[in-house]
């Protein structure tokens, strides 16, 4: 019986002890408002910093583009200057002498000059003028680029 009483007492003790429940503190309404204001301020500050970083990146890109454009202008100016120097330095009589002696070229004679019209609708070139004599229609029609090249090589030979 003593064991039964001890068992019952132990059982009563276990059931009578309640676990501690976390009690929520009541939050002051002003504290809630302060938290909301802080969160919104934090959000707007983050958005403003993000927009400022984008603006800074755009500004850097504009500055880089301005520098590259200035560099391109300087290079184009130097290129034009060099081209003028090259044009002034070319001596046509020396160039002709070099072409004749070193490359084996010769001057074109009047009967070798002809004009080819490549702006036809059927993509067939046609000799529109020939110095010296007339060209029959069969010889005047060239079939595409290979025909033009073959005719040009025949003329230059």
Cα distance between residue 132 and residue 24, in whole Å: 113
Give tens-digit pLDDT for 117-141.
666 665 555 555 554 454 444 444 4
Cα distance between residue 100 and residue 94, in whole Å: 10
Residue 11 main-chain phi, psi, to 5 deg: -65, -45
Domain positions in the chain are 29-90, 108-156
127 neighbors 147 (Cβ within 8 angstroms): no
125 neighbors 117 (Cβ within 8 angstroms): yes
pLDDT score recorded for residue 76: 96
131 neighbors 111 (Cβ within 8 angstroms): yes
DSSP string, 85-134: HHHHH--HHHHHHHHHHTS---PPPGGG-EEEE---TTS-EEEEEESSS-
pLDDT score recorded for residue 138: 46
* pTM, two decimal places: 0.38
pLDDT score recorded for residue 146: 57
Maximum C-alpha span of the chain: 147
Residue 59 main-chain phi, psi, to 5 deg: -65, -40
pLDDT score recorded for residue 77: 96
Q: What is the CA radius of gyration of the chain?
A: 48
Those residues of the chain that have pLDDT short of 70 are: 1-20, 111-155, 157
pLDDT score recorded for residue 96: 85
**First-to-last C-alpha distance (Å) of the chain:** 137
């Amino acid at each position: 019986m003593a064991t039964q009483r001890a068992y019952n007492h132990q059982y009563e003790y276990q059931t009578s002890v309640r676990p501690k429940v976390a009690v929520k503190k009541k939050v002051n309404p002003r504290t809630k408002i302060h938290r909301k204001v802080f969160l919104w301020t934090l959000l707007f500050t983050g958005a403003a910093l993000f927009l400022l970083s984008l603006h800074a990146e755009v500004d850097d890109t504009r500055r880089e583009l301005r520098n590259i454009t200035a560099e391109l202008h300087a290079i184009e100016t130097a290129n034009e200057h060099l081209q003028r120097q090259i044009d002034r330095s070319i001596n046509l009589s020396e160039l002709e002498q070099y072409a004749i002696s070193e490359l084996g070229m010769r001057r074109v004679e009047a009967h070798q000059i002809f004009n080819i019209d490549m702006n036809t609708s059927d993509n067939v070139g046609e000799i529109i003028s020939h110095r010296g004599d007339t060209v029959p229609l069969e010889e005047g029609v060239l079939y595409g680029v290979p025909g033009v090249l073959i005719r040009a090589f025949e003329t230059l030979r």
